[in-house]
Structure 1
Amino acid sequence: MATGGKSAAGDKVGTPDPWASHPIRQPSRWRRNLILLVILVLAGWLTWAWQGLREEALVGAAYGARVGCVCRYVSKRPLAACEADLKVAGLGGIARRVSLSEDAGKQAITGSVPLLASQNADFQESRGCQLEPWQD
């Protein structure tokens, strides 16, 4: 019996699928290869420069902790003012990345560079501000 030219799914019988003749377009290889090359170059640079970055961050964190301790406990200035002074210090720009935090109970200042280094300096009346020994 005639069904009016339609299949059970509702499509016309004999009409070709317009998407069947066009394959799905894959991303071009050069773009993928360029992205992989950039990632590999960045990973190589980071591996090569990691030790230097870590050492510079450790020096910056120690400098920040020591200066912050003297500013806070010897000069009796607020920690925000000490951190502002640190931001304009030299050290090749690493001092701008150092953040300070205070442990008022121990009278200690921690200078840290996120993900790279952290250093503590504590204050005692008898000896002033002193950095904790570096860990290798």
Structure 2
Amino acid sequence: MKESRLATAKNTIGKTRLWVWLILLVAALGAAAWFAWGEGLRRTGAAGTAYGAHVACSCRFIAGRGLDDCAKDKLDGMELIRFSEDAQAKSVTASIPLVASDTATYREGYGCVLEPWEG
């Protein structure tokens, strides 16, 4: 009976260690990928969210379409970009979680204007 419990305990500890190593490996690979491609992803993400915010703001507040309908206008490669609106401020925010976010606000006489970028 003792041998059975001991074998089960060792097996559980071995599985736990395996999961810890797998999680550490995935985290290390993720960090390496972010280090290798992160800057390029942030730059292209910033351009994509700026474009998306401007187009979606124009669609929503100039053309008067719903935001869900405007999301259908996304180009190929913009699948990760999500839109949200602030109807009171007449603005649309386009974002890629953890990468980039931009907001465009409708201004009478100017159309949809992006918020200034911080460099």
| The two structures share one fold, judged by TM-score above 0.5 | yes
Give me the whole-angstrom Cα distance separating, in 2, the residues matched to 1:83 and 1:66.
Answer: 12
Normalised TM-score (structure 1) = 0.67
**Residue 39 of structure 1: how far off its partner (Å):** 4.7
Give me the whole-angstrom Cα distance separating, in 2, the residues matched to 1:108 and 1:45.
Answer: 33
User: Gapped runs of 5+ residues in structure 1?
Assistant: 1-16
Aligned to 1:85: 73
**Residue 45 of structure 1: how far off its partner (Å):** 2.0
Coordinate RMSD, CA, aligned: 2.6
Aligned residues: 111
Aligned to 2:31: 43
State which structure, 1 or 2, has the greater radius of gyration over its C-alpha atoms: 1
User: Gapped runs of 5+ residues in structure 2?
Assistant: none
* Runs of 4+ off more than 2 Å: 22-27, 34-43
Relative contact order, CA 8 A, sep 6+: which one is greater?
2
Q: From 25, 39, 54, give the equivalent of 1:66.
A: 54
Normalised TM-score (structure 2) = 0.76
- Comparing 34-43 with 61-70, greater Cα deviation is found at 34-43
